[in-house]
Chain A
Amino acid sequence: MSARAFIGPYRALLSVRFSLMLQYRTAAVAGFVTQCWWGIIKIMVLAAFFAGNSRQPISLSQAVTYVWLGQAFLALLPWQADADIAVAAETGNVGYERLRPVDTYSLWFVRALAWRTANACLRAVPMFAVAAIFLPLAGLAAWSWRPPASPLSGLTFAISMTLTVLLSSAMTVILDCAVVALKTRRASNLAPLFVNILSGMVVPLALMPHWAQGFLFWQPCAGLVDIPYRIYFGNLVGRTAGEGLAAQGLWTFVFIFLGRTWLRRVMDRIDMQGS
């Protein structure tokens, strides 16, 4: 089989997902407004905290950039299993996945990847326009999304975000497996609990207690938010940036391995609901 024929189905899936996501423009606009609002509240709170005690591991302007990046790439967080797969698991249609002449893991991985990136692109671009371009023009430069610390930081950030997308997709497939194994979409309900606090979405990890920093850096969720953003504003450079990328790569690898193993076991003894 030629490489092209091999890639074909995955590429088709990717483009279908993208155009599907772009259909939901109203939902995207609503989500965007919500996220701007959310970002503004978070920034005002952080500014008030920093006003009383500004000697911190990251500066206020870095924390503000962190908030905007977080809102822009919110869709990359693996909060729940793929909606289509969840429906298929509940109705029993998941059995059809066995009939497709492609590797199920790769297909589900690409599915998650397409979903996350399409959603994130749709929201990151307008967020950048508002927070990085409009806010400084409106005289609110102190609250704006700053450019990366240096061209090298920007480049490393791009690499790191690529790893973030892969890591998030690998985690999503794990959630898919949990949903299929337990036959209910609620199987992934606990995911936000770990993802939100451990990724840095609630509080930037650098502002967490000093004694927890080692653990926080090396646990898997840091690679979703904290590591790429710290690379962006130059808090992780040189060796520490390399360690960050290594942590992301390592966990991506681990989750792909776990996901493959689990999916094989789940699919081997799948029992279907419905007719």
Chain B
Amino acid sequence: MSGLRLYWRYVANCLRAQMLYPTAFLLRFVTQFLVTIVEFGGLFALFARFGHIGSWHFADIALFYGVISTSFALAEMTSRGFDLFGPQFVKTGDFDRVLLRPRSEMLQLAGFEFGFTSIGRVLQGLVVLALAIALLPISWNIGQVTLLVWSIVGGCALFWAILIAQATLAFWTVEALEVTNTLTYGGVEAGQYPLDIYAAWFRKFLLFVVPIGCVSYLPVAALLGRANVTGLPVVADELAPSAAFIFLAISILAWQRGVARYTSTGS
């Protein structure tokens, strides 16, 4: 069986398992959608009060928000195994079993508890994106649609990289570290706004340390026809999401080193 087919098998299994309790499934889905959409409502309230933030209006921010929220939700949906790696695999010693199987351990973790309930969050991201597209006076052509999809794909890669890095840390710490939430949930929060509203040190952090700005601010500002204020050349806007893939590659390398030095905690 090819890797991809095995992955789909995992996904189908998860769906079947979760569908055994359809009400619970539906409730979780609806809850997640409502909780995240209400947060977006808070953003709308701020715009109703202030009118604009810097030179940006509600529709602009909705586009930033939609891109980052959709990317995060897609990444979250396919990486539960990494998210729960510390408590579910290292602490219990279950990772031993994963290693014994003649399949890539990354594939197995990616297929673990496929997060169908995160669909609620994906839906929220898409609703916000649709709203932004409806409100913005952009005449969409192939290039712009590609750039939009490209930045979402880049965002996915970035959050994947963060979640893999979080899992890698668990090889050393065993426990899950809540601190990585600053980069996942905190990253979503920070990426919802254009970088030019932030202090310079924070802007640099979001561009060169954890490149969230590269998957939201740079490409989206280009889509909106704005010059970026980072001092990077214009060509960087379209290329920026590739930074996420470099970050992902580094994360995977670190992960492999972690796997190589893994010693079981199990009994």
Contact = CB atoms under 8 A, between A and B. Distances in A.
B182 A53 contact: no
A53 B38 CA distance: 24
Interface in B1-59: 24, 27-28, 31, 34-35, 38-39, 41-42, 45-46, 48-54
Interface in A38-81: 38, 40-42, 44-45, 48-53, 56
A196 B38 contact: yes
A133 B28 CA distance: 42
Contacts of B199: 44
B14 to A, nearest CB: 18
Interface stretch (A203-211, A224-232, A239-247): A203-211
A34 B50 contact: no
Could you tell me the dominant secondary structure of chain A's interface residues? helix
Contacts, number: 85
Nearest to B199: A44
Contact of A41 (B38, B39, B190): B190
B34 to A, nearest CB: 5
A3 interface: no
What class of interface size applies to chain A in its complex with B?
20 to 34
Given A34-B182, A202-B39, A203-B45, A193 B31 contact: yes
A9 interface: no
B253 interface: no
Interface stretch (B78-86, B125-133, B157-165, B173-181): B173-181
A253 interface: no
What secondary structure prevails in chain B residues at the interface with A?
Answer: helix
A106 to B, nearest CB: 31
A171 to B, nearest CB: 17
Interface stretch (A23-31, A92-100, A118-126, A257-265): A23-31
B49 A209 contact: yes
A38 B42 CA distance: 16
Contacts of A50: 50
Given A53-B50, A56-B49, A209-B48, A45 B179 contact: no
Contact of A31 (B50, B175, B178): B178
Contacts of A203: 42, 45-46
A192 B36 CA distance: 10
A31 B186 CA distance: 13
Given A34-B179, A193-B34, A208-B45, A186 B50 contact: no
A38 B189 CA distance: 8
27 contacts: A26-B175, A30-B179, A31-B178, A34-B181, A40-B202, A41-B189, A44-B198, A44-B199, A45-B53, A45-B197, A49-B46, A49-B49, A52-B51, A52-B54, A186-B28, A189-B27, A189-B28, A190-B31, A192-B35, A196-B38, A196-B39, A197-B42, A203-B42, A203-B45, A207-B49, A208-B45, A208-B49
